[in-house]
Amino acid sequence: MRPTMTDVARAANASLKTVSRVVNREQGVSPHTAARVEEAIRSLGFQRNDLARALRRGQRSRTVGLVIEDVSNPFYSAIARGVEDEVSRHGLLVIAGSSDEDPGRERKMLQLLCERRVDGLLVVPAGDDHRYLLPELALGTPIVFIDRPPRRIEADVILLDNVGGARRATRHLIAHGHRRIALVGDALRIFTAAQRLRGYRQALRAAGIPLDEALVRLDCHGAAAAELAVRGLLGLPEPPTALFTCNNRITTGALHAVSDLARPPALVGFDDLELAPVLSPPVSVVSYDSVELGRQSARLLCARLAGVDCPPRRIVLATTLVERGSGETMPWADGASGPKRPDLRAQRPVPEVVCR
């Protein structure tokens, strides 16, 4: 526990007011007493709490808290970059941490940030009940949720068009002749995973393709789990001819699983990968600007800090299908009949804007 001014006063045999004067370099303390207090400060390792001092004077801390799932994941580090770029323009500092998809850790981190009296909070939520933040909202602390909506409270949120992106990816595979399209996703309790499964199902239903539950593999939290799931799919009596992978780490695991196959299944992933354009074949993805996701979230938070007062906003950012080759593989052998392969050079990604 950090020593307090009370501890210093006790060690120096001085009053709390005297210690406060020494700490704040005020007049009215004899040199002998000041030397005794300063010796106690050095021996105890006391440090003045400038944050608390500023807050008592009604000043802001000039900090914002950011809680993301995993700072090592390129998706979340890009969000953090966008947040930092935006808030720095307003003279604010970001304090960031990872929840590791653990609701308990998320709550603890947010409570610690609130204890530090950050000016606002940006959160990629892991929990399913955010009512513990109601006191902060009542105090006027602005909170913006990123990528997933809050649960059981109303607050600002910036989302991606997960349903539309997944629907577009699946529809693209169907248009290239695929009927056995597998989905590899994360746990359904995660908002984005559930939304991407929904878009996949919508595309199958619209094409008149029955949903085969054997081709849906969920709870793949990470590349290793995704690799195992894809190997299981490829071992089915009727394996899928195409894969839709629901995030960047799942796509990485799937690529490991199919890397030694002479004719791997077609693949479209949700989230772009840094090396996707240089792989063989380059990986087709549902893409978006994750830095912009962070930037817009921070922009909304800064607007709230500046006094913008309106009901909680829900903003959905568009996604784009980027065709690079991995999602355009035909399911039939060379020379077999089937639809003509489209000229990909003539196609352009068309975003579906769903902002409101």
pLDDT by residue, tens only, the chain of 356 residues: 567 778 888 999 998 888 888 887 788 889 999 999 889 888 887 766 555 554 444 567 899 999 999 988 899 999 999 999 999 999 999 999 999 999 999 999 998 998 888 999 999 999 999 999 998 898 889 999 999 999 999 999 999 999 999 999 999 999 999 999 999 999 999 999 999 999 999 999 999 999 999 999 999 999 999 999 999 999 999 999 999 999 999 999 999 999 999 999 999 999 999 889 998 889 999 999 999 999 999 999 999 999 999 999 999 999 999 999 999 876 543 433 333 333 333 333 333 333 33
CA angle in degrees (0–180, nearest 5) for 81-76-321: 100
* Residue 98 near residue 71 (C-beta atoms within 8 A): yes
Nearest to 121 by CA among 106, 105, 102: 106
Dig out the tokens for 127 from the structure.
């929990």
Cβ partners under 8 Å of residue 199, min gap 6 = 162, 163, 164, 165, 166, 167, 168, 169, 170
- What pLDDT does 353 receive? 34
Distance CA 67, CA 108 (A): 11
Burial class (CB in 10 A: 0-12, 13-18, 19+), 124: buried
Question: For residue 175, what pLDDT is reported?
Answer: 97
Burial grade of 90 (CB within 10 A; 0-12, 13-18, 19 or more):
middle
Residues 223 and 234: their CA atoms lie apart, in Å, by 16
What is the set of domains in the chain, with CATH numbers?
5-48 (1.10.260.40), 63-160+291-317 (3.40.50.2300), 163-287+319-346 (3.40.50.2300)
pLDDT given for residue 87 in this prediction: 97
pLDDT at 332: 47
- The candidate with the shortest Cα–Cα distance to 201, out of 227, 230, 181, 187, is 181
**In this predicted structure, what is the pLDDT of residue 52?**
52
Model-level pTM greater than 0.85? Answer: no
Q: Is 269 helix (H, G, I), strand (E, B) or coil?
A: strand
Beta carbons within 10 angstroms of residue 186's beta carbon: 23
Q: Is the peptide bond before 281 cis (omega within 30 degrees of 0)?
A: yes
Instruction: Give the position of tokens 């990123």.
Output: 146
Q: What angle do CA 127, 289, 149 make, to 5 degrees?
A: 20
Cβ(51)–Cβ(61) under 8 Å? Answer: yes
Joined tokens for residue 227: 């690799």
Instruction: For 278, list phi and psi in degrees, rounded to 5.
Output: -105, 0
H/E stretch holding 143 reads strand 143-146
Whole-angstrom distance, CA of residue 192 vs CA of residue 197:
9
Q: State how far the Cα of 124 lies from the Cα of 192, in Å rounded to an integer.
A: 11
Q: Tell me how far apart the alpha carbons of residues 269 and 326 are, in angstroms, rounded to a whole number.
A: 10
The interaxial angle of helices 16-23 and 5-12, nearest 10 deg, is 110
Asked if residues 269 and 282 have their Cβ atoms less than 8 Å apart, the reply is no
Cβ atoms of residues 218 and 188 within 8 Å: yes
Largest CA distance in the chain: 99
Which pLDDT value is given to residue 331?
56
